[in-house]
Structure 1
Amino acid sequence: MATQAAPPVYDEDTPRGFAFALAAYLLWGFLPFYMKAVAHIPALEVVAHRVIWSVPIAAVVLLLLGRTKDIRAAFKSPRTLGMGFITAALITINWSIYVWSIAAGRAVETALGYYINPLFSIFLAAILLKESLDGRQKAAIALAVVAVGLLAFETGGLPWVSVGLALSWGFYALCKKSLPVGPNQGFFLEVLMLTPLALGYIAYVEFNGVGHFGDTGMVDVLLLLGCGVVTAVPLMIYANGAKLLRLSTIGIMQYIAPTMIFFIAVFVFKEPFGTYKLAAFVLIWIALAIYTSSLLRSRRARQAAAAAAASGIAR
């Protein structure tokens, strides 16, 4: 099978890419409000509807982009299907933890999980891909480990919401790199694979009279239908914006959503935020500042090397 060419890595940020990425992160930042609105519905049922109603949206996008051939080719490749099943399973775990945690009043832990995620991703890259870490990156990871340890000490156990979100999204992003299709096609492939399970689960709960699609009022129906919009739209906007931005810019912008979730959790949802959580977040914020400085330093080094190379060619 002919694989899709990898998207170019941009050395310059484009206004269009920035607008796309900002829109996606703002939508993700406000998502807790939507998840609170469906908090009375079991998390697995919400996730099932997120899957089902994402399919038509993703399909329309692929039709408009003229990329349906990529999906047909994917179904002829056992390797692509295998990786698709893995990424689909990981995103299901991530969505399930997220939906449950917001409904359970643990949005603060959700924010922490997404703050930890970039640090966990560079740790994975070092362990599995043998990428080298500089001193700042190692220090940032160490501070994140201390922050998780503080929360574990406070609660008497691992802060599984934060760790679960970071692990599931980190491995999802890693495996996604091995999926030989574009991000929009990959998302459609994932939700399409999950659809039989999602339909089966919804049929089961509706047959047993405990479902919320039609039996509990029009508001629930509309909210569940909207799960597809709030799931697919930000992902696809982000996928198109990321292609038009520097990797370092994306790395910095990814803090927007967890910061919004944090403020919503503390000041709107009024979740408890004691001394240990404050200390953990301070450590994470310091770690992210160190990590960001490493990103910026790497970018400046690449720019200097490119300028030197261009100067040499000009001579």
Structure 2
Amino acid sequence: MNAHKAGVLAMVLCCAFWGLSPLYYKLLADVPTLEVLAHRTFWALIFFFLYLGLQGRLLGLFAGLRDPRTLVAMAFAAGVISVNWFLFILSVQTGRTTEASLAYYIFPLVAVIFGMIAFGERLGRLQGAAVGLAAVAVAILTLQLGHPPWFALTIAVSFGLYGVAKKRLTMGPVMSVAGEVLLVLPLSAGYLFKLHVLDGTGLFGTDWTMTGLLILSGPLTSVPLILFSYASQRVSMATLGLIQYLNPTLQFLVAIMIFREPFGAAHAMAFALIWTALAIYSTATFRDDRRRRRAATHPATSPET
């Protein structure tokens, strides 16, 4: 298997982990969301430390955290990804997985807007049309629900802000996430100490199944990011972006076919608009990517040559 095919396979597996994760969090529906999040960050850090330690990269993580700019950007990233993780877990536990899937469908379009605001990136005509269709879809859901789809919007915006922070970091995705969960560790450990020692209400250790599920949150968080890191080094960003739609698609199918969440005419119309917007956006992205590759392969020659 060549490097490109291996990268595609890694990305598909990564998105399968993410897309099917609602099945896992549904098993923890009786565990308070904040407790699940605390265990997720704690066990993810243990897994990352083992992974980076085996690679001899653990000292590089601590060296990177000594830089004030890196520390500030990583602390901001840690804050917004914690909000993202919390809301995603809560959405699954409260029967709103459909909204969570919508969030990751509209995220690429949210990212386009953040690119304009934070980095001065230009919005092409097709991208502008895609963002407009997404706005119409949100408006339809707002009329249907009587309020904006806050879960979807907040998850998408928090992930967009996370992307802005990550662009300011020079660390790779695995090491930077390890740093982020390390920064959140005092809060997670403090909350777990309160639950188990002060209140005596923590569910970890009460039975083998629950304990095993909570520990499993570590590798379920870490392994997809390792796969993503592997894929990003071997596959073009346009291909990564296209495969990444597998994540919300699987979440959507789990919500509708397994969890049997309500899906009415307004939802159907909104999702149809979102899918159309993503088709337009993907077309524009692939055109731009192909144009850049052609320019790199066949640079324009000057009249003198």
Match of 1:211 in 2: 202
| Deviation at residue 20 of structure 1 after TM alignment | 1.4
CA–CA separation in structure 2 for the residues paired with 1:246 and 1:119: 19
CA–CA separation in structure 2 for the residues paired with 1:13 and 1:148: 39
The answer to whether 1:85 aligns with 2:75 is yes
| Deviation at residue 173 of structure 1 after TM alignment | 1.1
Letter in 2 for 1:62: L
- Contact kept, 8 Å, 1:83 with 1:178, in 2: the verdict is yes
CA–CA separation in structure 2 for the residues paired with 1:177 and 1:307: 26
Letter in 2 for 1:214: G
- Contact kept, 8 Å, 1:13 with 1:246, in 2: the verdict is no
**Which aligned pairs between 1:97-108 and structure 2 lie closer than 5 A?**
97-108=87-98
Match of 1:145 in 2: 135
| Deviation at residue 240 of structure 1 after TM alignment | 1.9
| Deviation at residue 64 of structure 1 after TM alignment | 2.5
CA–CA separation in structure 1 for the residues paired with 2:91 and 2:98: 9
How large is the Cα RMSD of the aligned pairs?
1.8
| Identity of matched residues, % | 36
| Deviation at residue 243 of structure 1 after TM alignment | 1.7
Bigger CA drift: 255-264 or 196-205?
Answer: 196-205
SS class of match (1:14): helix
| Deviation at residue 308 of structure 1 after TM alignment | 2.9
| Deviation at residue 100 of structure 1 after TM alignment | 0.3
The answer to whether 1:201 aligns with 2:191 is yes
| Deviation at residue 304 of structure 1 after TM alignment | 2.9
CA–CA separation in structure 2 for the residues paired with 1:41 and 1:145: 35
Letter in 2 for 1:211: G
Q: 1:308 aligns with which of 280, 298, 305?
A: 298
Match of 2:150 in 1: 160
Q: 2:227 aligns with which of 225, 237, 241?
A: 237
Bigger CA drift: 171-180 or 135-144?
Answer: 171-180
CA-to-aligned-CA distance 1:279-313 (integer Å, 9 cap, x gap): 1100000000000110111122223323432888x
CA-to-aligned-CA distance 1:36-58 (integer Å, 9 cap, x gap): 00111011100000000011210
Match of 2:245 in 1: 255
Bigger CA drift: 297-306 or 178-187?
Answer: 297-306
Bigger CA drift: 63-72 or 217-226?
Answer: 63-72
CA–CA separation in structure 1 for the residues paired with 2:61 and 2:129: 42
**Which aligned pairs between 1:52-201 and structure 2 lie closer than 5 A?**
52-201=42-191
CA-to-aligned-CA distance 1:1-30 (integer Å, 9 cap, x gap): xxxxxxxxxxx9712211211110111111
CA–CA separation in structure 2 for the residues paired with 1:214 and 1:308: 62
Bigger CA drift: 68-77 or 145-154?
Answer: 68-77
The answer to whether 1:265 aligns with 2:255 is yes
Tell me the TM-score normalized by structure 1.
0.92
CA–CA separation in structure 2 for the residues paired with 1:35 and 1:169: 19
**Which aligned pairs between 1:214-229 and structure 2 lie closer than 5 A?**
214-215=205-206, 217-229=207-219
- Contact kept, 8 Å, 1:70 with 1:181, in 2: the verdict is no
How many correspondences in the alignment?
A: 302
Q: 2:287 aligns with which of 297, 300, 315?
A: 297
- Contact kept, 8 Å, 1:143 with 1:283, in 2: the verdict is yes
- Contact kept, 8 Å, 1:71 with 1:185, in 2: the verdict is yes
Match of 1:8 in 2: none
Letter in 2 for 1:40: D
Dislocated runs of 4+, deviation >3 Å: none
What are the ranges of 5 or more consecutive residues in structure 2 without an aligned counterpart? none
Letter in 1 for 2:211: V
SS class of match (1:211): coil
Tell me the TM-score normalized by structure 2.
0.95
